[in-house]
Amino acid sequence: MIVSIASGKGGTGKTTVATSLALYLNGKGQNTVILDCDVEEPDSALFLKPVLNKPKTVDIPVPTVDFERCTYCGRCAEVCAYNAIAVAKKTVLVFPELCHGCGGCALFCPEGAISEVGRDIGVVEEGDASGIKFVQGQLKVGEPMAVPLIREVKRRGIKENKEIVIIDVPPGTSCPVIKSVEGSDFVILVTEPTPFGLNDLKLAVETVKKISIPFGVVINKDGIGDSGVDLYCELERIPILTRFPFSREIAVAYSKGIPIIDAGVEFRQKFEELYDTILSIIQGGL
Amino acid sequence: MRQIVIISGKGGTGKTIIAASFAALAKNGVAADCDVDAADLYLLLHPEIKERHKFKGLPKAEINQVKCTGCGRCLEVCRFGAVKKQVHDRSPLFLIDPLSCEGCKVCYYACPEDAITMTESVSGEWFISETKYGPMVHARLGIAEENSGKLVAIVRENARSVALERGLDFVIVDGPPGIGCPVIASLSGVDLALIVTEPTLSGIHDMERVIDVARHFGVKTVCLINKYDINLENSGNIEKWCERNKIPVLGRIPFDNSVSESVVKGIPIVEYMHNMVTQRIKEVWWEISEVKGE
Ligand code: SF4
Ligand code: SF4
């Protein structure tokens, strides 16, 4: 089973819920895997403190031109949809940060002058956090493209057996979110009860609806704002899976990298409820 | 005219609250919401839309089933797993999954039957608006779309030209979270990046990464610690880190419930009340607005 933890708005507590859920499941003796797909800012490791193996670089193929063969015909520049390759008088320029690695230029070069080399865009790290299998990606600084790295994290973390996979999804609603969430059995949307939280929750709901995966809401920092999120969920018949109150103690625990499940005994119970509700929704086929 | 971007790496540190306050304090600036994925600045500035423009993403592939002979060449060449094969009445059917298609056109060129067309679609909108505090440029990226970097670039460009046209002194950019494509587009060519961080381990970690990105692109960077009193030890560590890395820390804002109250009311906090929080925000603004760009 794969459960993704997402939120349109950043900073709502996605990572603390994801890591806590992993800890809860691991504590129950479940085979648990956590994937940090928030490759721009991976923070799960701060909470779980895994022992990591040597990082492996992830690269995407970019073209290189053999000038012995190139006739400067310009076909590569014509087929590239991203303007990542340009042909000038007696040279061919490649702009690696624009290249998506589609392979078009190499495929269509009539002279066979283009081959592809790897360009590193970040690393994946695998490890173990007291029994939880841990995989994270880290995008290289200055690198715009997160999606290939997310694919690699998922490829390494998701094997076809009986474990439960928890995915920490990047914030937002665009392409990297879809790529992270795709293939999940359930999505938990973490929000906070403020107008910002509500606005971004609505967008996140649209996003998961687009890929037709069952979902529910966790309200974090309950008590800080207004009742907008509650009203919206009621109106849209979105299940509220559980709530965590706002308190200074939780905020302080969070600041030290303590997952919410370890911030007080009452929270373990909440994760039990959360997990049971998810199971019943998935099994009930709602 | 100076462009100032407010970013944080980690979401939820208070970026938008600071950006809205600066917009209110500036009186002669343009506000630009570059968090096009989850734009929230409008909830505090209440823009009245004056101009609406469509944002077109890259055209995506579509297969003309009449022309398609089922040879499967598209499936072979697509590197993004966007071509899906289904079997109907024992004959294969090839379809494009628009959520996976990156619009590279390789299948379009490779198809021997010319059965693939590239179809343009609207993938967002951007706006030029008026607020109580001056003009605002903002956008809305369609759900599940890519190319947010390109939309950010459009917002930036238009904010800049509005500022130039009207002789305004500042462009105040509310940036997106993360360090990827939209962040890079928000940062490029600005005069100053203000990093809003919080004294949590994730706040610190994410701040360090986003500062590296700002440096990578040669942008002058200053820092502000929000909710600094949630963890004084971590705040101290941020200050030490910033000192070692020669990043000026311009302010420390205490945690206060008035911040979420102002969000509920939909008012930039500096307009909502006067307290320690607003005092500190103002001090940071005064300092920033006097620092001349390099
Ligand atoms: S691999 Fe694709 S994106 Fe990269 S330069 Fe070649 S055609 Fe352009
Ligand atoms: S345009 Fe590129 S990404 Fe889209 S289906 Fe065709 S080959 Fe795949």
Query: How many Cβ atoms are within 10 Å of B116's Cβ, its own excluded?
Result: 24
In a domain, A118, yes or no: no
Q: Distance, in angstroms, between A177 CA and closest chain B CA?
A: 8
Domain with CATH 3.40.50.300 in chain B: 2-57+123-289
What is the overall mean pLDDT for chain A?
93
Non-local CB neighbours of A169 within 8 Å, separated by 6+ positions: A4, A5, A6, A7, A14, A37, A38, A177, A180, A181
In a domain, A128, yes or no: yes
Q: Which fold has domain B60-120?
A: Alpha-Beta Plaits (3.30.70)
From CA B263, how far away is CA B266, in angstroms rounded?
A: 5
A185 and A158 in a common domain: yes
A210 and A83 in a common domain: no
**String of DSSP letters for B182-229:** HHHHHHTT-SEEEEEE-SSHHHHHHHHHHHHHHHHTT--EEEEEETGG
A231 and A143 in a common domain: yes
Range of the domain at A81: 67-112
**Measured in angstroms, how far is the CA atom of residue A241 from the centroid of ligand 2?**
38
In a domain, A107, yes or no: yes
B102 close to ligand 2 (CB < 6 Angstrom): yes
From CA B152, how far away is CA B55, in angstroms rounded?
A: 11
A199 and A92 in a common domain: no
In a domain, A117, yes or no: no
- Write the pLDDT tens digit of every residue in B125-178: 999 999 999 999 999 998 888 778 899 999 999 999 999 999 999 999 999 999
pLDDT for B294 beyond 70 = no
CATH code: domain of residue A83? 3.30.70.20
Q: How confident is the model at residue B293 (pLDDT cuts 50, 70, 90)?
A: very low
CB contact under 8 A, A41 and B177: yes
Domain with CATH 3.30.70.20 in chain B: 60-120
Mean pLDDT over residues B15-27, rounded?
Answer: 95
A217 and A196 in a common domain: yes
The DSSP secondary-structure symbol of B52 reads E
**Residue A80 structure tokens:** 């590239």
In a domain, A119, yes or no: no
Closest CB from A100, A200, A207 relative to B143: A207
What is the overall mean pLDDT for chain B?
93
pLDDT for B51 beyond 90 = yes
In a domain, A185, yes or no: yes
Contact A167, A18 (CB under 8 A): yes
What pLDDT is recorded for position A278? 95
In our burial notation (b when 16+ CB lie closer than 10 A, e otherwise), range A187-216 reads: bbbbbbbbbbbbbbbbbbbebbeeeebbbb
Non-local CB neighbours of B290 within 8 Å, separated by 6+ positions: none
A28 and A137 in a common domain: yes
- From chain B residues 40-59, the ones with a CB under 8 A of any chain A CB are 40, 43, 58
pLDDT for B291 beyond 60 = no
- Write the pLDDT tens digit of every residue in A32-42: 999 999 999 99
In a domain, A260, yes or no: yes
A194 and A78 in a common domain: no
The domain total for chain A is: 2
Q: How confident is the model at residue A283 (pLDDT cuts 50, 70, 90)?
A: confident
What pLDDT is recorded for position B276? 95
Q: Distance, in angstroms, between A230 CA and closest chain B CA?
A: 14
For the sheet containing B2-7, what is the strand order?
A: B48-56, B122-131, B134-141, B29-33, B170-174, B2-7, B192-197, B221-226, B249-253
In a domain, A140, yes or no: yes
pLDDT for B101 beyond 50 = yes
From CA A233, how far away is CA A237, in angstroms rounded?
A: 6
A140 and A30 in a common domain: yes
- Write the pLDDT tens digit of every residue in A162-207: 789 999 999 988 889 999 999 999 999 999 999 999 999 999 999 9
Q: Atom 8 in ligand 1: which residue has the minimum CA distance?
A: A80
Residue type, B111: C
CB contact under 8 A, A146 and B199: no
CA B103 to chain centre: 23
A199 and A80 in a common domain: no
- Write the pLDDT tens digit of every residue in A61-109: 999 999 999 999 999 999 999 999 999 888 999 999 899 999 999 999 9
Query: Three-state DSSP class for A254?
Result: helix
Share of chain B above pLDDT 90, in %: 86
CATH number of B2-57+123-289: 3.40.50.300
pLDDT for B198 beyond 50 = yes
pLDDT for B23 beyond 50 = yes
Query: Three-state DSSP class for A135?
Result: strand
CA atoms within 13 A on the CB side of B55: 24
A134 and A202 in a common domain: yes
Q: Identify which has the larger pLDDT, B283 or A175.
A: B283
Q: How confident is the model at residue A285 (pLDDT cuts 50, 70, 90)?
A: low
What pLDDT is recorded for position A8? 86
φ/ψ of residue A214, rounded to 5: -60, 145
What pLDDT is recorded for position A89? 81
CA B271 to chain centre: 24
A133 and A105 in a common domain: no
pLDDT for A118 beyond 60 = yes
What pLDDT is recorded for position B91? 82
Q: Which atom of ligand 1 is nearest to the CA of A76?
A: 7
